[in-house]
Amino acid sequence: MGRAVSVRCPTFMSEMSAMNRKLIQTLAETTSKQVAHFNKTEVECLIREFNVLLGEQAIPGKAVTGLDRGKFRSILHNIFGMTDDMIMDGVFRTFDKDNDSFVSMKEWIEGLSVFLRGTLEEKIKYCFHVYDLNGDNYVSREEMFHMLKNSLTRQPTEEDPDEGIKDLVEITLKKMDHDHDGRLSFTDFEKAVREENLLLEAFGTCLPDITSIEIFEHHVFQVQLEQ
Ligand SMILES: [Ca+2]
Ligand SMILES: [Ca+2]
């Protein structure tokens, strides 16, 4: 992506035991080969940040479960400014690939690769997965209704908000449901987003804005340069 300048981890690394450091380096070596958008040093920094956020040290030989829903949601909220519960649950579900209710270190790095630096193709897959609330590979009328209602009914209006949202669902379907079966398949969604990129986050903000990406990356990758 052309953004990987020389990056150094905070001095924190030197405070870790040599054994732990070696473990993290080995882990980073392996993991960086599996993710598209981070180099080895960046992966090392992300592992360190993961441990900080987890609030406990990764002890060699001890299995670390990972970030639970609550911890993960507070990261989305505090670091990336997300507020929508339904969307945050969707992001959690999308990061938690093996569905064990924890975002493991590997899931964290793989997820962030798309979340922070994903290509359009990767982001289309990611957003579709977030929006497919029940995981049946379609975004249904009901799912659209719930998400739009959740994101739009912040301000109370005099009219029945449900009617307006139902109309919006129909308008959205008309625009995006290319095969006319009354729901969005991945193919429908992908086609619509490729035609109009703004539809990527049609049902709620599930990707961070550029400012929070920059702040996060600066904090995780380059904090040492300022010390
Ligand atoms: Ca998991
Ligand atoms: Ca669905």
Q: Is the pLDDT of residue 2 over 50?
A: no
Q: Which ligand is nearest to the CA of 186?
A: 2
* Ligand 1 center to 195 CA (angstroms): 33
Q: How far apart are CA 126 and CA 91, in angstroms?
A: 8
Please check the confidence at residue 225 and state whether its pLDDT lies above 50. Answer: no
- By DSSP bridging, strand 102-103 and strand 139-140 are unpaired
Q: Are 45 and 221 spatial neighbours (Cβ–Cβ below 8 Å)?
A: yes
> Is residue 65's pLDDT more than 90?
no
DSSP E strand stretches across 144-213: 183-184
| Tokens, residue 182 | 């009354």
CA Rg, the chain, in Å?
Answer: 20
Beta bridge partners of 140: 183
**pLDDT score at 25:** 87
Ligand 1: centre distance to CA 51 (Å): 16
The number of the ligand nearest the C-alpha atom of 189 reads: 2
What's the mean pLDDT in 20-40?
88
Question: Around 10, how many Cα atoms within 13 Å sit in the side-chain half-sphere?
Answer: 17
Average pLDDT for residues 83-89, to the nearest whole number?
A: 94
Q: Kindly give the distance from the C-alpha atom of residue 87 to the centroid of ligand 2, in angstroms, as a whole number.
A: 14
Residue 6 has a pLDDT of 53
CB neighbour class for 107 (10 Å; exposed up to 12, middle 13-18, buried from 19)? buried
Query: Mean pLDDT over residues 49-68, rounded?
Result: 75
**Residues 87-124: tens digit of each pLDDT:** 999 999 999 999 999 999 999 999 999 999 999 999 99
- Residue 163 confidence (pLDDT): 87
Domains and CATH numbers, the chain: 29-57+64-226 (1.10.238.10)
For residue 179, the one-letter residue type is D
What's the pLDDT tens digit per position in 134-175?
Answer: 999 999 999 999 999 888 766 666 567 788 899 999 999 999
